Chains A and B, each alone.
Chain A
Amino acid sequence: MVAQPAKKQRFNALALFRNALSYHQNWEQQWRSPEPLEAYDVVIIGGGGHGLATAYYLAKEHGITNIAVLEKGWIGGGNTGRNTTIVRSNYLWDESAAMYEHAMKLWEGLTQELNYNVMFSQRGVLNLAHNLTDVRDTQRRVNANRLNGIDSIYLDAAGVKKVVPGIDLRGGGRYPVMGASYQPRGGTARHDAVAWENAGKCDEMGVHIIQNCKVTGFDIEGGVVKGVQTTKGRIGAKKVGMVPAGHSSVLASMAGFRLPVESHPLQALVSEPIKPTIDTVVMSNAVHAYISQSDKGELVIGAGVDQYISYGQRGSQHLAEETLVAICELFPQYKRMKMLRQWGGIVDVCPDASPILTSTPVDGMYLNCGWGTGGFKATPGSGHAFAAHIAKGEPTELTAPFALSRFETGFLIDEHGAAAVAH
């Protein structure tokens, strides 16, 4: 039995008006919650942005619709709903630039493609340089970006002030701003919307979105995956795609192999809402601070990762404090503001700060993990590339450099400089 597609409600001004008449009580669910079938062609583990995007592109571009997406919690409840929504593609190496720029191009058409406003706002992203080493590294990265056709510009201090009038270039003496890389096409997107509409579109094409379904083990016979054991029983699978941000080591251990990742808490916080003060994204790689302003007016601030391994979804207070100290030095006008909420998510960090998109020692099992502190920006690109990898059963041009084997060959893709969070 193949899952049946659903008829979909539309989102437009007329629908908004019509639903307003009934106090918005009668909107349909955007995706159904079916009980799992006995078996699927592809089972995707992890219903975050990357997992849903993988299922979406498998259905749309590869004609595979007999898919289940298993999510242990609820859609949008993991890192998809916890990140700081920044999108950019100014990575140093050719392999990552190709991957993130692929994602950027998909982002640019995503609202049209999904017919759902993902509020992709290309407000520009700055990565600050605070000392001479930063300046040289930044210029090198900008030049590499331009060779790869990415819109990257090096700004000197005066140029930074022009783009971000509110910044104090002296940085309180501790974090002087000497320059920055600037990607005008970078920006932010509505993270929840990306998850919700990918889920809705998947559901429309017949993909089963199964929430509250935790994977507890794998059925592997003779090195070939046959199915997954879950809290909702056994589900057969011809192919399994694992997209488990935060728990990739745990899943890999269940399947009998190990990974070169460490799980760390990464935290973010938002302030009370204020009138528009900053219309771009400012990131400081050296001081673990990045800031933008949401449409609601809150300052969205990202902090660093805890040094130790943790699966507890919360960060330490002293990291948030360090970040806010730096933010206050760079933007003294925010000193008296209050923070409203703080939260953490678990990020799987690879030794080279680049992700893993790979086939695994188990036949039919594919893995997409290790996006570290910056997976959100890659959501559509990661899903698109991983779907092609799963459909073909072998690496594609985009995914091949991100194979697990790079840790043996030494062909690492060192993106610690572009990853923007020191780890």
Chain B
Amino acid sequence: MLLIRCPYCEQERPEVEFSFAHQAHKPRPEAAGEPLDDHNWARWVYYQKNIKGVAHERWNHAAGCRKFFNAARDTVSSEIVATYKSGETPPVPESRIEGEDLSFDYENAEGGA
């Protein structure tokens, strides 16, 4: 079980108090200046970076203060590098795969047949 420090409660609490709330810092298509069409909507709702390495994630302190916050966590070792409040700048960058297209989130890549 992970021990997670809630940045609002300023306490390290067991994982069972928290809910994983998926990828952090995911702008809605309009916020990124993209049209809200089926393609971009699907990307916002369903697609995930699913990073291997340090990833920025949202967590909810569901059985505590009930606030959402963000964590930078290594998805291989499960080490929590940092937790920080919503709206704050991530203290560490995410892991990247060499050659990965960073602009891809809103690039027009067809979903295939």
Contact = CB atoms under 8 A, between A and B. Distances in A.
A318 B1 contact: yes
Nearest to B37: A408
Interface string A245-268: 001011001101111111100000
A351 interface: yes
B52 A351 contact: no
Given A405-B112, A407-B46, A307 B52 contact: no
Interface in B14-59: 15-16, 19-20, 22, 38-39, 41-43, 45-52, 55, 57
A409 B37 CA distance: 11
Interface string A384-417: 0000000000110000100111011110000000
Nearest to B96: A253
A408 B113 contact: no
B99 A254 contact: yes
Contact of B109 (A257, A308, A311, A312): A257
B57 A395 contact: no
B98 interface: yes
Contact of B104 (A257, A359, A367): A257
Interface string A207-230: 000000000010000000000000
Contacts of A409: 38
A310 interface: yes
Contacts of B55: 309
A403 B110 CA distance: 11
A360 interface: yes
Interface string A311-339: 11000111000000000000000000000
A21 B59 CA distance: 61
A260 B112 contact: no
Given A309-B57, A311-B75, A311-B76, A408 B38 contact: yes
A152 interface: no
A249 B52 contact: yes
B1 A316 contact: yes
A359 B112 contact: yes
A150 to B, nearest CB: 28
Contact of A318 (B16, B77, B104, B112): B16
B88 interface: no
A317 B51 CA distance: 23
A348 to B, nearest CB: 8
Contacts of B78: 308, 310, 312
A262 B39 CA distance: 19
A258 B112 contact: no
A119 to B, nearest CB: 34
Contacts of A253: 97, 100
A359 B38 CA distance: 19
Nearest to A358: B112
B19 A250 contact: no
Interface residues of B, number: 39
Contact of B20 (A258, A308, A317, A404): A308
B61 interface: no
Nearest to A318: B1
| Chain A, interface residues (CB within 8 Å), range | 35 or more
B112 A404 contact: yes
A217 B113 contact: no
Interface in A280-307: 307
A217 B98 CA distance: 8
A247 B16 contact: no
Given A217-B98, A361-B112, A316 B15 contact: yes
B93 interface: no
B10 interface: no
B13 to A, nearest CB: 14
A256 B109 CA distance: 9
B70 to A, nearest CB: 13
Contacts of B20: 307-309
A311 B42 contact: no
A254 B104 CA distance: 12
Contacts of A394: 113
A260 B98 contact: no
B1 A249 contact: no
Nearest to A255: B99
Given A258-B104, A259-B47, A410-B38, 14 more contacts: A217-B98, A256-B109, A258-B47, A259-B48, A261-B50, A262-B50, A310-B75, A312-B78, A318-B1, A400-B113, A404-B112, A405-B111, A408-B39, A408-B111
Interface of B: 1-2, 15-16, 19-20, 22, 38-39, 41-43, 45-52, 55, 57, 73, 75-78, 97-101, 104-105, 109-113
Q: Shortest 5 CB-CB distances between A and B: which pairs?
A: A249-B50, A260-B46, A404-B111, A405-B111, A307-B20
Interface of A: 217, 247, 249-250, 253-254, 256-263, 307-312, 316-318, 351, 358-361, 367, 394-395, 400, 403-405, 407-410
